[in-house]
Structure 1
Amino acid sequence: MSLLMEESYRGFLNYVGGHEMTILHEDGLYRHVRFGRPGSCGWFQLVTWPGYLSITGDFESFTFARIPDMFEFFKERDGYINPGYWAEKLVAQGTKIEAVSAEKFTSAVVHDFWERRDDSIGENAALFRAIREDLLDQAGHGFERHALDEFRHYLDDGTKFTFEDWWEWDLNDWSIHYLRACHAIVWGINKYQAAVAEKAAVAA
């Protein structure tokens, strides 16, 4: 599991530690299951109908379509998600599934600086200080591309250092909203199926 997915999972667990499950509707493949309560931090609900699953709540809204019982499609162990494959099954989304990765952004900026650095140690130090303050310290705030476009630093000889062709850089990764929604789906289905199994065991 990537570092981003590990961090998204830990963050997700912090939201749902005290969540209670409420089954609002259950009729075969027609389900409406809520976790937490509207207004509480990190609440969400899962709604299924034949061929579809929709998640709404604090982790944004996403609707997937694949097989008749979508609870079976997402049935995985806690902590494991497959965002790339699942993204292919999206039919509706309330927000973007990708965003600039702070890790990729930092790596690309540092690599570009390193490839183009000057022979002067003092010049390099001043330039990298400006890069750190104006770019690297902004990583993860959502304005990385704008910061790259606006960055200007004048060297001692009067030449201007800017980042060229940065729009060709691969800076994106999965958005935190999408990853947490994926974790919520798997976690919620596991809770639901455990409750159904327990109910069946008691009835037997």
Structure 2
Amino acid sequence: MSMTDTVKPENPYARTYADFLAQTREHVLVVLQDEGLYRHIRVQAPGTRMWSWDVTTWPGHLATSGDIADGYMFTREPDMVGFFTSAGKSESYYSDGAPGIDFRYWAEKLCGGRSREVKQYDADLFLRLVREHLEESEVLGTEAQEFHERQLTLLKRLHELRGLDPDAQAALFEAHWTAESTKASYRPPSTLYSAVRDEDNKTASRSALAGLWCTDGLTDEQLEELIAEHDWHELADLDVPRQSPAERREEILEEARWHADSESEAHKWLADHEDAVGSDTWEWDLRDWDIHFLFTCYCIDLAVRLYRGHAAAKAQPSAA
């Protein structure tokens, strides 16, 4: 690849497009009527109507019917073949050679306001949006996981320099996590005793954290090593969660999978988990293009390309 070449994006509907290509590789154009804007063309494999479709046009309209792409009608411009030649489309846009069709734009041209009908709830889309949001989260995202792993690497080196065996290291972590859990779960009523208990929990938490990050017994050289090689000032003296951000993400995703059966259930789960996925999920569109509509768009694209090739050849002067 030369420096001037651009990397084409992956087709989000690559599987559907691959299926379409596999089923239509032997298809040819059959022109049944061709009188100005009044056209009736068919695309089929020779000798069979399986996976075939018809395209019919008249001024301002294009309709599809057949074994696939059945029952759609579009309206926009007087010559709809001309419209679908380039409007909302880029040739060979994706890495698999698929055209870059703006399905939303084409759906808006459906007659009868059917643009909403050609999308349906997609559980995979719901889960993908949840995953992407979690991976970008400041607390649970990939950067948070990287920070967590760097903390563990630093603590491992710190404890090695202190001469702690695995059991002693594990005890420090357990003391820290237990103190944090106790502090987080305590909900004091408004009494003096409870206020004292709450402060005791906070003191215990600070003490356990200090024990985890303690540098007693380290030489100046060893401490300088930690500072220089492990970003001590950025990582040290901070909480280290028992559950890593990556583990927490997978736990939330697994819970989301149990609520992915329907669009209403998915939206309810999102609303109930604003602490993890944010408060703007009501704007998420959990619907994706129906496979029949995707096939219809690919059918129109192929039919138009074949027809234009036919028209261009017809317009060529015959050899003398």
Per the TM superposition, whether the score is higher than 0.5 is: yes
From 107, 125, 128, give the equivalent of 1:104.
125
* Contact 2:55/2:65, CA 8 A, preserved across alignment: yes
Determine the structure 1 residue equivalent to 2:37.
29
Q: Distance in 2 between matches of 1:88 and 1:126?
A: 37
5+ residue gaps, structure 1: 150-161
Task: Give the direction of change, closer, same or farther, for the CA distance of 1:95–1:192 in structure 2 (3 Å limit).
Answer: farther
Structure 2 residue 19 is matched with structure 1 residue 15? no
Task: Give the direction of change, closer, same or farther, for the CA distance of 1:43–1:102 in structure 2 (3 Å limit).
Answer: farther
Q: Distance in 2 between matches of 1:95 and 1:125?
A: 32
Determine the structure 2 residue equivalent to 1:60.
70
Structure 2 residue 295 is matched with structure 1 residue 180? yes
* Contact 1:134/1:147, CA 8 A, preserved across alignment: no
Q: Which moved more, 1:164-173 or 1:183-192?
A: 164-173
Select the structure of larger CA radius of gyration: 2
Task: Give the direction of change, closer, same or farther, for the CA distance of 1:6–1:164 in structure 2 (3 Å limit).
Answer: closer
* Contact 2:263/2:286, CA 8 A, preserved across alignment: no
Within 5 Å, which residues of 2 pair with 1:60-139? 60-76=70-86, 77=91, 79-92=99-112, 96-110=117-131, 121=243, 131=255, 134=258
Q: Distance in 2 between matches of 1:85 and 1:197?
A: 27
* Contact 1:32/1:47, CA 8 A, preserved across alignment: yes
* Contact 1:60/1:95, CA 8 A, preserved across alignment: no
Amino acid at match of 1:45: D
Q: Distance in 1 between matches of 2:295 and 2:39?
A: 21
Q: Distance in 1 between matches of 2:115 and 2:128?
A: 29
Task: Give the direction of change, closer, same or farther, for the CA distance of 1:126–1:172 in structure 2 (3 Å limit).
Answer: closer
Q: Following TM superposition, by how much is the alpha carbon of 1:189 offset from its aligned partner in structure 2, in angstroms?
A: 0.7
Structure in which a larger fraction of residues adopt helix: 2
Q: Following TM superposition, by how much is the alpha carbon of 1:9 offset from its aligned partner in structure 2, in angstroms?
A: 2.7
Task: Give the direction of change, closer, same or farther, for the CA distance of 1:25–1:190 in structure 2 (3 Å limit).
Answer: same
Amino acid at match of 1:46: V
Q: Following TM superposition, by how much is the alpha carbon of 1:132 offset from its aligned partner in structure 2, in angstroms?
A: 7.5
SS in 1 for 2:269: coil
Structure 2 residue 291 is matched with structure 1 residue 195? no
Determine the structure 2 residue equivalent to 1:156.
none
Q: Following TM superposition, by how much is the alpha carbon of 1:7 offset from its aligned partner in structure 2, in angstroms?
A: 3.9
Structure 2 residue 288 is matched with structure 1 residue 165? no
SS in 1 for 2:40: strand
For residues 104-162 of structure 1, the C-alpha deviation after alignment (integer angstroms, 9 at most, x for no partner) is 311244468888999775x9699569547746xx7xxxx4436648xxxxxxxxxxxx8
Q: Following TM superposition, by how much is the alpha carbon of 1:82 offset from its aligned partner in structure 2, in angstroms?
A: 2.1
Task: Give the direction of change, closer, same or farther, for the CA distance of 1:12–1:54 in structure 2 (3 Å limit).
Answer: same
- Which TM-score applies when normalising by structure 1? 0.69
Q: Distance in 2 between matches of 1:102 and 1:3?
A: 19
Task: Give the direction of change, closer, same or farther, for the CA distance of 1:16–1:95 in structure 2 (3 Å limit).
Answer: farther
5+ residue gaps, structure 2: 1-8, 93-98, 141-180, 182-240, 273-280
Task: Give the direction of change, closer, same or farther, for the CA distance of 1:2–1:52 in structure 2 (3 Å limit).
Answer: farther
Determine the structure 2 residue equivalent to 1:43.
52
- Which TM-score applies when normalising by structure 2? 0.47
For residues 42-73 of structure 1, the C-alpha deviation after alignment (integer angstroms, 9 at most, x for no partner) is 32111000111111231332211111111100
Amino acid at match of 2:108: E
Alignment length, in residue pairs? 185
Task: Give the direction of change, closer, same or farther, for the CA distance of 1:106–1:51 in structure 2 (3 Å limit).
Answer: same
Q: Distance in 2 between matches of 1:43 and 1:163?
A: 42
